[in-house]
Amino acid sequence: PLTGESDSVANMMLEEDASDIALLLESLPVEQRLSVWSEVPKHKKIDVLVAMRGDPREVLIDATDNDEWLQLFTDMDAEVLLELADSLPDRLVESALSVMNKQQRKYFQDASLFSDNQIGHWLSHEVLVLPISAKVRDALRLIRRNVPDLTDCIFLVNRAGHFTEAVKLTRVFGAPEHLPLVEISEEYIDVVRVEDDSINASRLVQRSGFSALPAVDSNNTLLGRVDMVTASELVNENYERQVMSSAGMDEDEDLFAPVRKSAQSRAVWLGINLLTAFLASWFIGLFEATLQQVVALAVLMPVVASMGGIAGSQTLTLIVRGLALGQVTKGNRNALLQKELRVGGLNGIIWAIVIGIVASFWFTDPLLGVVIALAILCNIIAAALAGVSLPIILDKLKIDPALSGSVILTTVTDIVGFVAFLGLGTLFLL
Amino acid sequence: PLTGESDSVANMMLEEDASDIALLLESLPVEQRLSVWSEVPKHKKIDVLVAMRGDPREVLIDATDNDEWLQLFTDMDAEVLLELADSLPDRLVESALSVMNKQQRKYFQDASLFSDNQIGHWLSHEVLVLPISAKVRDALRLIRRNVPDLTDCIFLVNRAGHFTEAVKLTRVFGAPEHLPLVEISEEYIDVVRVEDDSINASRLVQRSGFSALPAVDSNNTLLGRVDMVTASELVNENYERQVMSSAGMDEDEDLFAPVRKSAQSRAVWLGINLLTAFLASWFIGLFEATLQQVVALAVLMPVVASMGGIAGSQTLTLIVRGLALGQVTKGNRNALLQKELRVGGLNGIIWAIVIGIVASFWFTDPLLGVVIALAILCNIIAAALAGVSLPIILDKLKIDPALSGSVILTTVTDIVGFVAFLGLGTLFLL
């Protein structure tokens, strides 16, 4: 598909920024990806790798030889290596560390003390810092030297290195040179704690109205900052994880992963699902005798199961989001359960009547209509119950409800649906 | 649940920021929400409403009387009204506009010319602007007056008002007073076009490394800017829409919506799903005679359908994300289809064998094993085909594949699965 476009590719390599090149590479089948990769200018390669997702960049990392790595590793800072570390073989991480300057190596090691879902793992260290006693003229001198991107504040620390105040750069200009900075510091600025959950901390940064927030440890020692770009990347990645994990996939999944690798990573999810499907089948098998006599039950089974599944997944989705945002708490979960049961009851009654009538006419059997109506009502209410309680229970067990919630939920609604429908069928129709 | 906590609530109202109060309100059942709302200090009320999701805030809007609105409307700016407009009755929007100052009213009207998925709808207008001929001393004078939040650049415009350059504030300080600003302007800054898709534009802002990007019309006239906070809100909201719409829900859904309203909004999705379930049942009904004779087919039906559904949803999720990110294009979709068919073929063969063996032993019927194995293979391959082509077709038809993709996909895999399984069963087992 790219034949004859190599001129434009070469041009693009020179002009486009790293994230556009990263996107292009991700969208290419492996062979073409490698040939475009070889045209990426050396000085952009590291930025491009950082901008790519985990799996698609591994192909490129494997194709880069040792000598090239050593060149790429010069002047690498801790943040970049942290970003790439998961995709790099350990031996390359080691050699990157060995050529890294001492300060950056220290940052890397500090960050490695935190898991990647703690914000301490993702700090940046380009921070403007002054002692609490500093004056406007000290600030001006500091600013004239060098201001890192996305910096709108100078952080003031006391002698122990504890964060105390933040001063906006824009308030420094125009202020008298002798004025102590504390007198023009911000009344209020949020602070991120290094052990905090990375997503909660990032959301705080996103809505703070500052370009970056100071990050401190439990003693309030200033360790670095979290800027808007990092915060947005972490939040976006988390959303992608949520979307992908609902289908049992990884957010790093490569569009053009090798067939075998891709098949393997998806096989696990298919296997789990197969177990739940066999479980549902086993329950159906209990009613073989009934099915043989009333074949209409076999025809209508999917209706009962799927209405429960849909109703349940609506409740589940609402609760999973509520848990992630902190809307669902101990204080309101009983009220929520009641409300969802009422919604389920109302929709259950309405759809039970509709489906009951359709089934009665379809198979000219009013009793079959009654059986399916009762089964639908029963399954939609069970779905509401499971939709509220499952994610809350999974969350308590520290299992991500976005990943496993929907499999377990549909297992519940399938089984409840089949047993209710076939059980009632056995009672009323034989 | 909040009994005895009203002291702490009152305290929280004074200390917490608007988004924390918004979250608290969203997590409360309606009655308690209204009572806490009455304790929110007047000067925070508008910010709290803006921070809330659409549905939960409507309850509060309905409970606020006309006189209070008139007070709240004073000094309201265009951005805030745009944010609230969808939740406010038309008559209140009118009265807000009538007390708004002329400039803000103009901004509101300009923004209303764009749909809410165009970035032109979401501009902010607090921009530092100078003519292209301005010198450092002009910039200093401007900065000393007032710098809006999240401003790191002054935008330079020519006489026609066209955007030409951006100058970082931090480069202004320390520069000689007589220096023309163009000499210290940024080499490269991305520009947002007002008619652009709001999500693509916001992603550009998020990764730009600037606190805000200039927004221009097709003539390059500077109309405003898009800052990091707005960009993050739009991107986050879009992800939430994606997650919620996969269950047929709105991202504005209120945890504690009135039962009737909630039941109604979900009923539509249940109804659509019911139609597809009946369609699947109708196909099963074609094989009533077969089912009556080989009841094992009825028992195993869910296995065939669900394996296809899961495999298809994996492909679908990957492609929907790829489309949203721009990874999936005309150039690579054939290659993608081939790859997904290969992955489907491989997993199809593996799981066909596993399921075939299990079914053979379970029902002590090797031929049944062959039938289900072929049906599984067939359905997983169909799932891969549908998983790639469906979202691409829906996207072309301007239908959101995140919303409708999974319903259509499971309809396809259900029908293919049932017809293949029961059809092969009719051929081989009767």
pLDDT for A196: 95
Task: Read off the pLDDT of each residue in A261-276 and give the average, rounded to a whole number.
Answer: 93
d(CA B133, CA A122): 42
User: CB of B147 within 8 A of CB of B211?
Assistant: no
Task: Read off the pLDDT of each residue in A338-366 and give the average, rounded to a whole number.
Answer: 96
CB contact under 8 A, A328 and B243: no
Query: Over 50: is that where the pLDDT of A2 sits?
Result: no
- β-pair partners for A212: A227
Q: Across the interface, which of B174, B317, B332 has its CB nearest the CB of A29?
A: B332
pLDDT for B146: 84
Mean pLDDT (chain A) is 91
Task: Kindly give, in sequence order, each residue whose CB lies less than 8 Å from that of residue A396, ignoring residues fewer than 6 positions away.
Answer: none
Any idea which residue has 């500091």 for tokens? A142
CB contact under 8 A, B332 and A174: no
Give CA A220 to chain center in angstroms.
Answer: 29
A1-5, A409-413, B17-21, B375-379 — which is least confidently predicted? A1-5
Task: Give me the amino acid identity at B289.
Answer: A
Query: Over 60: is that where the pLDDT of A6 sits?
Result: no
Interface ipTM: 0.91
Domains of chain B with bracketed CATH: 6-115 (1.25.60.10), 129-245 (3.10.580.10), 259-429 (1.10.357.20)
Nearest Cα of chain A lies from the Cα of B108 at a distance, in angstroms, of 22
Using a CB-CB distance cutoff of 8 angstroms, which residues of chain A are in contact with residue B336? 255-256
Q: What is the residue-level pLDDT of chain B in tens, covering all 430 positions? A: 444 455 566 666 777 788 889 999 999 998 999 999 988 988 889 999 999 988 899 889 988 888 888 888 887 889 899 989 888 888 889 989 988 889 999 999 999 999 989 999 999 999 999 999 999 999 999 988 888 889 999 999 999 999 999 999 988 887 899 999 999 999 889 999 999 999 999 999 999 989 999 999 999 999 999 999 999 999 999 999 888 988 888 888 888 988 999 999 899 999 999 999 999 999 999 999 999 999 999 999 999 999 999 999 999 999 999 998 888 999 899 999 999 999 999 999 999 999 999 999 999 999 999 999 999 999 999 999 999 999 999 999 998 888 889 999 999 999 999 999 999 999 999 8
pLDDT for A157: 96
d(CA A376, CA A378): 5
The pLDDT tens digits for A201-210 are 999 999 998 9
Task: Read off the pLDDT of each residue in A332-358 and give the average, rounded to a whole number.
Answer: 95
Residue A299 or residue A67, greater confidence = A299
Any idea which residue has 């077709």 for tokens? B393
CB contact under 8 A, A302 and B301: yes
CB contact under 8 A, A342 and B27: no
pLDDT for B7: 58
Put simply, whether A270 touches B (Cβ < 8 Å) is: yes
CA–CA distances in Å: residue A348 to residues A345, A378, A424, B254, B352: 5, 8, 17, 20, 36
pLDDT for B1: 40
pLDDT for A173: 80
The pLDDT tens digits for B134-162 are 999 999 999 888 888 899 999 999 999 99
Interface test with A, best of B126, B234, B321 (most A CBs within 10 A): B321
pLDDT for A8: 63
Task: Read off the pLDDT of each residue in A286-309 and give the average, rounded to a whole number.
Answer: 95
pLDDT for B252: 85
d(CA A393, CA B318): 29
Alpha helix ranges (H) inside B294-365:
295-325, 333-362
User: CB of B165 within 8 A of CB of A164?
Assistant: no
Q: Across the interface, which of A207, A263, A355 has its CB nearest the CB of B229?
A: A207
d(CA B402, CA B321): 9
Task: Kindly give, in sequence order, each residue whose CB lies less than 8 Å from that of residue A198, ignoring residues fewer than 6 positions away.
Answer: A116, A117, A118, A119, A121, A122, A234
CB contact under 8 A, A326 and B288: no
Put simply, whether B288 touches A (Cβ < 8 Å) is: yes
Cα dihedral A250→A251→A252→A255 (10° resolution): 90
CB contact under 8 A, B140 and A174: yes
Task: Kindly give, in sequence order, each residue whose CB lies less than 8 Å from that of residue A148, ignoring residues fewer than 6 positions away.
Answer: A124, A126, A127, A128
Query: Over 60: is that where the pLDDT of A144 sits?
Result: yes
Give the max Cα distance, chain B. 96
Predicted confidence band of residue A1 (pLDDT cuts 50, 70, 90): very low
Residues in chain B: 430
Nearest Cα of chain B lies from the Cα of A394 at a distance, in angstroms, of 19
Q: Across the interface, which of A239, A332, A355 has its CB nearest the CB of B239?
A: A239
Using a CB-CB distance cutoff of 8 angstroms, which residues of chain B are in contact with residue A259? 339, 342-343, 346
CB contact under 8 A, A267 and B350: yes
Cα dihedral B184→B185→B188→B190 (10° resolution): 160
Closest C-alpha among B186, B198, B195 to residue B231: B198
Number of Cβ atoms within 10 Å of the Cβ of A79: 20
CB contact under 8 A, A259 and B343: yes
Closest C-alpha among B194, B134, B120, B196 to residue B167: B134
Cα dihedral A100→A106→A107→A110 (10° resolution): 140
Nearest Cα of chain B lies from the Cα of A110 at a distance, in angstroms, of 25
Task: Read off the pLDDT of each residue in A123-141 and give the average, rounded to a whole number.
Answer: 94
pLDDT for B3: 44
Q: Across the interface, which of A270, A346, A351 has its CB nearest the CB of B310?
A: A270
Put simply, whether B281 touches A (Cβ < 8 Å) is: yes
CB contact under 8 A, B284 and A302: yes
3-class secondary structure, B252: coil
pLDDT for A3: 44
